[in-house]
Amino acid sequence: MEKRTDRRIAMTKRLLKESLTELLKQKDIYHISIRELCAGADVNRTTFYKHYGSQFDLLADMENDLLGFIKNTIEAHESRPDHIIRDVCRYLENDLEFTRLIINNNIDPAFPQKLFSLAPLKDVVFRKCENKRLGETESEYLYNFIIYGSYRTICVWLNKDRRESPDKLAELIIQRSSF
């Protein structure tokens, strides 16, 4: 049976994540103290250390939330790239402040590589390349074009104040990326 997370623990983690996001808008992670994080979340340091060892562990948890959502979305809709893009864009838009920080490389410059190395992401794109009967070299180029192009398109979209809907963006990416 799946172990359920206590709602108080979930709330504490959410408050800490919100506090970290607010602090990251002002300074880099190396200059954020646990004391500041706890003050922003209105929790004590003992509570923080029950869940995380450092501000870097908290950031890693936030990144893992995002990567986990993307992975699960790909697996749930692997035959429907438009649904994948739409659902991911909706998720990103719902947590716009953090996603702008992470996508713009202001926090973790390695994040794009963590994203691009997700096995389900590679699998779904390479399956589409196989359907086009391309050789190995052409498939590799097309994969990189689709992934990096889509990523940059989503970055531009996230940074706009007046964004198109996630549905419209998904439609645009699918039409232009040879899916």
**What is the per-residue pLDDT for 1?**
46
Least confident of 77-81, 83-87, 113-117: 77-81
Report the domain count for the chain.
Answer: 2
Full domain range(s) for residue 111: 56-176
38 shares its domain with 68: no
The pLDDT value recorded for residue 128 is 74
Same domain, 123 and 140: yes
pLDDT confidence bin for 142, thresholds 50/70/90? confident
Task: Decide if 112 contacts 151 (C-beta within 8 A).
Answer: yes
Residue 138's pLDDT is 85
Task: Assess whether pLDDT exceeds 90 at residue 145.
Answer: no
- Specify the amino acid at residue 161: D
Residues shown for the chain: 179
Q: Which residues contact 130 (CB under 8 A, 6 or more apart)?
A: 139
Contacts of 107 (CB under 8 A, 6+ apart): 24, 28, 29, 59, 101
Judge contact between 163 and 93, C-beta under 8 A: yes
Per-residue model confidence (pLDDT) at position 178 = 58
CATH code for the domain in which residue 49 is found: 1.10.10.60
Instruction: Look at residues 33, 53, 73 and tell me which one is the last residue of a structural domain.
Output: 53
What is the model's pTM?
0.87
Do 39 and 77 lie in one domain? The reply is no
- Of 12, 27, 53, which closes a domain? 53
